[in-house]
């Protein structure tokens, strides 16, 4: 059986992923985790600290454990890996429980640029850009940081378009990605 910290974090992970961090209160988290509020605050000094832990877990599970792993399994060529992101996204967008990007969601939920949870979401987005810049470097792109920022705009835009209901968002982004790769190589 998971300890109290693990139960709370796992419950928060599921709830925050589905409903956002601001829509889910600590009372709901402890109730669904079957834990006492004291257990939450003994392990996480504040809700913001719990959100940061959620974002760290999301980075391990989503960014590294799913997206990067899928991309690396689908292609060996760096440029093909970049394009494979949108193939993976297409499958993700088609899921009935597609929840969008938690990093984007948290960043947009919190207006205060100094908030630790917002800063953590921005940091997580930068980790994704680092991955993209690495692929761009391997693909021989002259300015990998600028390219990674452009590619990330395609990724984030496709996620938002998919949330709007565009079932072809990933394919559209992949087409634009092919043009960007051709222009930058």
Tell the residue number behind the tokens 């996480």, with chain if given: 44
| pLDDT surpassing 70 at residue 1 | no
The arrangement of secondary structure in 46-184, i.e. its CATH architecture, is Orthogonal Bundle (1.10)
**pLDDT value for 2:** 65
What CATH number is given for 1-44 in this structure?
1.10.10.60
Nearest partner of 177 among 40, 98, 71, judged by Cα: 71
Q: Encode burial over 65-84: b for 16+ CB neighbours within 10 A, e otherwise.
A: eebbebbeeebeeebebbbb
d(CA 168, CA 173): 9
d(CA 137, CA 128): 14
Nearest partner of 155 among 86, 93, 104, 94, judged by Cα: 86
Give per-residue pLDDT as tens, 52-96. Answer: 999 999 999 999 999 999 999 999 999 999 999 999 999 999 999
Residues 6+ apart with CB under 8 A from 119: 113
Query: Could you state, in order of their start, the residue ranges of all structural domains in the chain?
Result: 1-44, 46-184
Nearest partner of 33 among 49, 9, 57, 50, judged by Cα: 9
pTM above 0.85, yes or no: yes
């Amino acid at each position: 059986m998971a300890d109290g910290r693990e139960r709370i974090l796992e419950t928060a992970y599921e709830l925050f992923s589905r409903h956002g961090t601001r829509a889910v209160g600590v009372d709901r988290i402890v109730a669904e985790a079957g834990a006492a509020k004291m257990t939450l605050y003994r392990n996480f000094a504040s809700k913001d600290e719990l959100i940061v832990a959620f974002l760290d877990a999301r980075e391990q599970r989503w960014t590294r454990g799913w997206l990067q792993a899928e991309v690396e399994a689908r292609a060996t060529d760096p440029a093909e890996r970049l394009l494979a992101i949108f193939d993976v996204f297409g499958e993700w967008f088609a899921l009935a429980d597609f929840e969008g990007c938690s990093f984007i969601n948290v960043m947009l939920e919190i207006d205060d640029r100094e908030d630790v949870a917002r800063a953590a979401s921005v940091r997580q987005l930068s980790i994704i850009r680092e991955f993209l810049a690495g692929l761009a470097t391997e693909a021989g792109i002259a300015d990998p940081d600028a390219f990674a920022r452009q590619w990330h705009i395609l990724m984030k835009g496709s996620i938002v378009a998919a949330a709007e209901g565009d079932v072809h968002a990933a394919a559209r982004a992949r087409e634009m990605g092919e043009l960007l790769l051709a222009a930058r190589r």
